[in-house]
Amino acid sequence: MDITNTDSKVRDLEHVIDEKEREIQMLRDSIHEYNNLNPVDEERIKEIECQVKEIDGLVRGLTAEMLDLKACIQKLSKSHDEGAKRPPERFQEKNQERAARDGEVASRKYPAVETSSVAAARKPAEPVKSYSGLEDELPEEVMIIQPDGTMKKEVKKGDDMIIADHRGGGVSPAGRRGGDPRDRKPLIYADDDDTVEIKRRRK
């Protein structure tokens, strides 16, 4: 370090000290003048001293309370750290009791409750009738010769064979009710195979 720089710094510090001493002296003088102009009573001084003592007591009480609070916080922090490392025994007991209750509830059997949608889903669908089944249910039709000689399909009723008289239109009601059976005209039978067979009634 350079000696010249050191001396200059020392001089600067001495100058600062001198200025501070002058400021202190000025403050002392101003305080003295103020006290001379405004003398303070002893009662006022005692009152201020009492207030200072009260404030001092409050500060000490607050300090003691803060120390107690700090100790409580340290204890809580320590217990929290220990609990983070291992769960307390009471927590373990509560967990065991909860697990036992859960096991009892799981072991119980409750009746299954089905909603309308579930019941509808479980209900088997009705079998769809095939086209052949519908055909079986339809009435049977056969070819029948009409009075005018044409063939026409009509619903089969009664016996297995439908009988139609191709000349029934020309027979009078009297002839149908009476007369010789030999004079009756042959009858035509129409079966399901669309074939026409002419048979005569037995005498």
> Does residue 129 form part of some domain?
no
> Does residue 178 form part of some domain?
yes
Q: pLDDT above 90 covers what percent of the chain?
A: 3
User: What is the band of 170 on the pLDDT scale with cuts at 50, 70, 90?
Assistant: very low
> Does residue 2 form part of some domain?
no
Structural domain for 151, as ranges: 139-199
How many domains are there within the chain? 1
> Does residue 107 form part of some domain?
no
CA-to-CA dists, residue 30 to 22, 162, 201, angstroms: 12, 151, 165
Task: Determine the pLDDT at residue 13.
Answer: 85
Q: What pTM does this model have? A: 0.26
Give the separation between CA 38 and CA 60, rounded to whole angstroms.
33
User: What is the band of 77 on the pLDDT scale with cuts at 50, 70, 90?
Assistant: confident
> Does residue 130 form part of some domain?
no
Is 70 exceeded by the pLDDT of residue 2?
A: no
Is 80 exceeded by the pLDDT of residue 33?
A: yes
Which residues, at least 6 apart from 152, have a Cβ–Cβ distance to it below 8 Å? 143, 144, 145, 146
